[in-house]
């Protein structure tokens, strides 16, 4: 079981700086400088509500993971878009050339306490830009993670808690290179992810077409089956989404609803695009379901505002809020209606 004590043990063994942030009574997250990750939440110091790589389960497995310079730790992270620009040296060989820049992940984050309750992660980086002529891009990321203040933390027979994740992305000069902060939270199967929409939504398959039975498109929402067994990635256009979505699953003998919200720009300037298609942007939200090869997980991915290129701004500040409602099945059904309108 990957619980709070286990994650702390692996970080300590490898001299990685970390902070524990209290979200509510007996509910915590861990913020790690290595990888710039947010792990948890951990309820009663038990197993994490969100996915953490099973390699944390033993010192030997975790050391092997580090020695191989793997990136997939789990948790909540920040990458950069366009993916084709920063991660793919050869546009004609997406999977064969795909790479995760080490300057970004694990990066060289500096972790500090901003206050008694909040922490900050900061780093500067110089990244390769893969286009017609190889360039370098200088960027900085500053992130603040703080508990959400819930006026009513107890709801019926359950509880709620969460954290705000503020992301500040800045470039040193506007040199025509686009950049966009990209938030990815790895979640556990098995459950259903609900996306409120303004009508029958327009979406894109990033890899092969999503298989029948996984996506149900309704008049005012999309329902996605999350099982971590069949790989797909679906992007949803900002025009049709609301900036709010929810994931429903179980934790022991209780049910939970995870609600994520972010600023959804209806004009859709988002620059992350499907594999091999650099012109098809405008997707504010992406959902990824893995194939089960490394431990059954999925990802809730949302895009922040782009900077540079043809945009007037050289910096952006975005906030992603992640709130959990833990309780009985009836309580969670009521929360779905209230917070998602479904």
Written as tens digits, the pLDDT of the chain (342 aa) is 799 999 999 999 999 999 999 999 899 999 999 999 999 999 998 999 999 999 999 999 999 999 999 999 999 999 999 988 899 888 888 888 889 999 999 999 999 999 999 999 999 999 999 875 668 999 999 999 999 987 655 565 678 999 999 999 999 988 889 999 999 999 999 999 999 999 888 889 988 899 999 999 999 999 999 999 999 999 999 999 999 999 999 998 889 999 999 999 988 788 876 655 555 678 899 999 999 887 789 999 999 999 998 888 999 999 999 999 999 999 999 999 999 999
Q: What is the pLDDT, as a whole number, of residue 134?
A: 65
Helices assigned H by DSSP within the chain? 4-13, 59-67, 83-86, 94-97, 329-340
Phi-psi region of 69 (alpha: psi -120 to 50; beta: other; left: phi over 0): left
Given a contact cutoff of 8 angstroms between Cβ atoms, the answer to whether 148 and 130 are in contact is no
DSSP 242: -
Residue tagged 């209230």 (tokens): 338
- Virtual torsion, Cα 300, 306, 309, 311, nearest 10 deg: 150
For residue 47, the surrounding DSSP H or E stretch is: none
Q: What is the pLDDT, as a whole number, of residue 252?
A: 87
Q: How many residues comprise the chain?
A: 342
Task: State how far the Cα of 123 lies from the Cα of 248, in Å rounded to an integer.
Answer: 34
Helix (H/G/I), strand (E/B), else coil: 35: helix
Domain formed by 4-340, architecture: Distorted Sandwich (2.70)
Given a contact cutoff of 8 angstroms between Cβ atoms, the answer to whether 84 and 91 are in contact is yes
Given a contact cutoff of 8 angstroms between Cβ atoms, the answer to whether 325 and 160 are in contact is yes
Task: Give which of 251, 226, 243 is closest to 49, Cα–Cα.
Answer: 251
Per-domain residue ranges for the chain?
A: 4-340
Task: State how far the Cα of 110 lies from the Cα of 104, in Å rounded to an integer.
Answer: 13
Task: Give which of 168, 135, 165 is closest to 300, Cα–Cα.
Answer: 165
Token pair in block for residue 205: 């398959």
pTM of the model: 0.94
Q: What is the pLDDT, as a whole number, of residue 133?
A: 67
Q: Which residues contact 334 (CB under 8 A, 6 or more apart)?
A: 156
Given a contact cutoff of 8 angstroms between Cβ atoms, the answer to whether 38 and 163 are in contact is yes
Given a contact cutoff of 8 angstroms between Cβ atoms, the answer to whether 143 and 121 are in contact is yes
Beta pairing partners, 68: none
DSSP characters for 77-128? EEEEE-HHHHT-S-TT-HHHH----TTTTTTT-EEEESSSS-EEEEEEEEEE
Q: What is the pLDDT, as a whole number, of residue 279?
A: 55
Q: φ, ψ for residue 55 (rounded to 5)?
A: -60, -20
């Amino acid at each position: 079981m990957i619980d709070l004590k286990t994650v702390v043990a692996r970080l300590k063994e490898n001299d990685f700086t970390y902070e524990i942030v209290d979200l509510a009574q007996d509910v915590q997250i861990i913020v790690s400088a290595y990888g710039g990750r947010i792990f948890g939440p951990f309820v009663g110091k038990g197993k994490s509500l969100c996915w953490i790589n099973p390699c944390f389960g033993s010192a030997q497995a975790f050391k092997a993971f580090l020695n191989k310079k793997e990136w997939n730790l789990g948790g909540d992270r920040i990458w950069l878009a366009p993916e084709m620009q920063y991660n793919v040296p050869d546009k004609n060989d997406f999977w064969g050339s795909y790479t995760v820049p080490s300057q970004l992940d694990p990066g060289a984050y500096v972790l500090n306490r901003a206050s008694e309750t909040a922490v900050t992660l900061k780093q500067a980086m110089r990244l390769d830009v893969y286009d017609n002529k190889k360039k370098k891009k200088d960027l900085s990321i500053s992130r603040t993670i703080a508990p959400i203040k819930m006026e009513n933390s107890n709801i019926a027979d359950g509880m709620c808690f969460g954290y705000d994740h503020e992301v500040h992305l800045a470039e040193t000069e506007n040199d025509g290179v686009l950049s966009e902060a990209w938030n990815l939270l790895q979640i556990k199967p098995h459950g259903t992810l609900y996306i409120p929409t303004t009508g029958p939504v327009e979406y894109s398959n990033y890899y092969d077409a999503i298989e029948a039975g996984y996506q149900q498109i309704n008049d005012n929402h999309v329902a996605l089956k999350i099982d971590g067994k069949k790989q797909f990635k679906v992007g949803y256009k900002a025009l049709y989404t609301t900036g709010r979505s929810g994931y429903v699953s179980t934790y022991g003998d209780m049910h939970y609803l995870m609600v994520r919200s972010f600023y959804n720009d209806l004009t859709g300037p988002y620059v992350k695009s499907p594999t091999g298609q650099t012109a098809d942007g405008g997707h504010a939200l992406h959902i990824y379901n893995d194939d089960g090869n490394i431990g059954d997980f999925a990802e809730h991915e949302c895009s922040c505002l782009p900077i540079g290129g043809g945009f007037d701004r050289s910096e952006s500040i975005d906030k992603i809020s992640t709130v959990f409602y833990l309780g009985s099945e009836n309580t969670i059904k009521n929360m779905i209606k209230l917070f998602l309108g479904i």
